[in-house]
Structure 1
């Protein structure tokens, strides 16, 4: 039997006091969909959401959050605020498109899509490719606020950047160790799964909250509405800040690559690989710290085991799509990327038929100096801390390791 250490979420004194007062007063932020929708309409002064295909997903998410998530009062407030922000954004996006329908005609050139499991070098590679001046990546401040602030001057998003920096500081305050696992920086490239969250069809909620009902429901859904809305948001962002081509990145794409290729034909997908023994331990730690932001009760072994199954299913789903679209994929080893990143960039550009300019090369070299590994501190973790054995992880990924000849680290 594996002995695990209990995971105790970090809780700043001020937040602990706030939670204690909230519990004593019986305060609970309202998470009912009707209240959220009414509040979003009141905040924006807008009523038209356009297509309402998001509503079933919102209903399921709210129901599961109310029933199962066991959030502390402050965590529940954060969650409500995020849902309300997303609904307000949908209203404002619809209003913008009504005024500028030409936005939906903007072409999204075949994007580069980084789709490897978590902790396989995807963040490093994403930031490297995003350094190319000809490349358009989602910035963290855009993920938080895709739409301009009403008082924002065109081309001057300083209000949104300031808001994202405040959110960055807030996360550091609530979970200081999180940044040594995955840096979340206001002006840095961020995962486009955060844009998919605006459809309420994404892995983001289940990566931060205990949502068994929502997770089971999500696993059976047609994800085309999520990717269709992802495209709309990319067009809205491109209308604001043009770019020659997009580079997207999120492990979540692995389970929906067939839908991604249907919405973005000719996308070029880069799948990164690393020893699952290392990625599983690291990601399990990241999940536990993320859950700890919202709840005082974090069952780290259960979370780790749930996501071991999710991730094993994702790489298998990706393999099935690869059999149908082999020309769309290339592989990058984490170890080759760490050893000689620019050689891997050259391979990717050749695969995608892109010329690697001297300007791009220089920008990428400069990015490497800024985005160094462990610059936010070294993160230590073991599988055993999360109730997992090496044998269990190896069984889950045996076929995946063999297919891609992934070495033991």
Structure 2
């Protein structure tokens, strides 16, 4: 399998098969100087005007030597190595456009600054935070992407006794919400929306395409570990552009401890100032990559693992992440076949890792529940009741009413739908079944997606 999913765009000109799609984003002419600047810098120095590596590593190193609460020196070094591998993978990729490089650099440097600011704030207020903040028995939703994780997470977060992070809390980390403060009038909402509105203005089509399968909003509850990764200079969104070597390295077990300690500290800080009445609810497909590490760091975690027939679901994640990858690429360089293979290679770990861990640790089954896609979408509230019954929690009448209201206002496909197939991403479902046979057999999946959803 190639390191990058791209192809030389000169070889795709005139192709009508659909394998090499054009960019659905039409960048504003106001961004033309970005191309000129990059062209000039390359002519003078041989390198892009928007290289990531040095800037990202400098920002990662700014907090200096860290207290052990952020991880051991080895854990931090592993994390830094992953940051470097991500950044150099992007810098060496010849198929990212100048505008794409500028946007990627802006995104990841801004979030590394979130990390710097958070660590500084935490250390200055550590006594108060650790006296008042709790992150006990979190309810975590994970599984292969596009398996119902978002619906379940946002439904579970309708429990008024729970707490789950708003997007703006992770986009703009400070100052934390205070107890009694109305989160929906927070100044950071405007800042988060301003960033997205700017992207919509200068890159029309980007947000609209993303919202067809995953609604982004400053006031929605969003993926926790995904943001913790981005804060630390890693990515499970733009990892494809960094290359297969980075993708697989970032998913190894030793990359998890410092990330999960950062997550614990982040939510301990949030809870100290605006505590959850009962429990925290977080969601991220990435948890499944580090399934055993979840229980190493959060020994009291309660985990919901979502499932959907891989023969149906593999092209779904490829289509979603195509919409977030292609805007950054050189026109004509995107290869759907290679992209689909990389997506399956990487995200297939979210089928494999939980299955292997659970087989080796049956004592953890009291803390884990499965949620199969068809069951979830047939009756989402019944699935929530099953989860609460499993973990001996009560579904209150207020919680029921809030779930009904959420479902009424957020019908599936409200913001459009992605269309996709295994064929367009060259996914051979029989080969997929044979590679992940234990998973297919465990959940009675077949190679015919029509039999499932």
The two structures have a TM-score, normalised by structure 1, of 0.88
Residue of structure 1 aligned with 2:318, choices 281, 284, 287: 284
Task: Give the corresponding residue for 2:221.
Answer: 189
**Offset at residue 258 of structure 1 (A):** 0.9
1:136 and 2:151 correspond: no
1:408 and 2:452 correspond: yes
1:255 and 2:275 correspond: no
Do the aligned partners of residues 77 and 13 (structure 1) sit closer, same or farther apart at CA in structure 2, a change above 3 Å counting? closer
**Offset at residue 23 of structure 1 (A):** 4.4
Structure 2: 5+ residue runs without aligned partners?
1-16, 43-47, 68-72, 446-450
1:166 and 2:194 correspond: yes
1:21 and 2:31 correspond: no
Say if 1:268 and 1:329, in contact at 8 Å, map to a contact too. Answer: yes
When structure 1 is superposed on structure 2, of 305-314 and 245-254 the one drifting more is 305-314
Q: For residues 155-197 of structure 1, give each alpha carbon's deviation from its aligned partner in whole angstroms, at most 9, with x where no partner exists.
A: 7773321122233335553423221121111110111121233
**Offset at residue 143 of structure 1 (A):** 2.0
**Take 1:202 and 1:20, find their aligned partners in 2: how far apart are those partners?**
25
Say if 1:4 and 1:387, in contact at 8 Å, map to a contact too. Answer: no
Task: Give the corresponding residue for 2:55.
Answer: 35
Task: Give the corresponding residue for 1:98.
Answer: 123
Task: Give the corresponding residue for 1:84.
Answer: 109
Say if 2:237 and 2:324, in contact at 8 Å, map to a contact too. Answer: no
When structure 1 is superposed on structure 2, of 302-311 and 47-56 the one drifting more is 47-56
1:356 and 2:400 correspond: no
Task: Give the corresponding residue for 1:57.
Answer: 82
Number of matched residues? 398
**Offset at residue 247 of structure 1 (A):** 1.1
Question: What secondary structure sits across from 1:217 in the alignment?
Answer: helix
Task: Give the corresponding residue for 1:346.
Answer: 385
**Take 2:20 and 2:58, find their aligned partners in 1: how far apart are those partners?**
41
Question: What secondary structure sits across from 2:95 in the alignment?
Answer: coil
1:368 and 2:407 correspond: yes
Question: What secondary structure sits across from 1:181 in the alignment?
Answer: coil
**Offset at residue 286 of structure 1 (A):** 0.9
Task: Give the corresponding residue for 1:377.
Answer: 416
Question: What secondary structure sits across from 1:292 in the alignment?
Answer: helix
**Take 1:47 and 1:339, find their aligned partners in 2: how far apart are those partners?**
48
Alignment of 1:275-354 (within 5 A): 275-296=309-330, 297-323=333-359, 324=361, 325-354=364-393
**Offset at residue 226 of structure 1 (A):** 1.0
**Take 2:235 and 2:298, find their aligned partners in 1: how far apart are those partners?**
18
Say if 1:337 and 1:344, in contact at 8 Å, map to a contact too. Answer: yes
**Take 1:74 and 1:240, find their aligned partners in 2: how far apart are those partners?**
39
The two structures have a TM-score, normalised by structure 2, of 0.80
**Take 2:239 and 2:153, find their aligned partners in 1: how far apart are those partners?**
23
**Offset at residue 343 of structure 1 (A):** 1.0
1:71 and 2:96 correspond: yes
Structure 1: 5+ residue runs without aligned partners?
none
Q: For residues 341-365 of structure 1, give each alpha carbon's deviation from its aligned partner in whole angstroms, at most 9, with x where no partner exists.
A: 1111111111112111111111111
1:199 and 2:232 correspond: yes
Question: What secondary structure sits across from 1:115 in the alignment?
Answer: strand
Do the aligned partners of residues 155 and 48 (structure 1) sit closer, same or farther apart at CA in structure 2, a change above 3 Å counting? farther
Question: What secondary structure sits across from 2:90 in the alignment?
Answer: helix
**Take 2:192 and 2:94, find their aligned partners in 1: how far apart are those partners?**
25
Question: What secondary structure sits across from 1:114 in the alignment?
Answer: strand
Residue of structure 1 aligned with 2:212, choices 166, 180, 188: 180
Say if 2:244 and 2:342, in contact at 8 Å, map to a contact too. Answer: no
**Take 2:135 and 2:452, find their aligned partners in 1: how far apart are those partners?**
39
**Take 1:47 and 1:284, find their aligned partners in 2: how far apart are those partners?**
36
When structure 1 is superposed on structure 2, of 92-101 and 223-232 the one drifting more is 92-101
When structure 1 is superposed on structure 2, of 305-314 and 6-15 the one drifting more is 6-15
Say if 1:268 and 1:328, in contact at 8 Å, map to a contact too. Answer: yes
**Take 2:36 and 2:52, find their aligned partners in 1: how far apart are those partners?**
23
Question: What secondary structure sits across from 1:293 in the alignment?
Answer: helix
**Offset at residue 310 of structure 1 (A):** 1.9
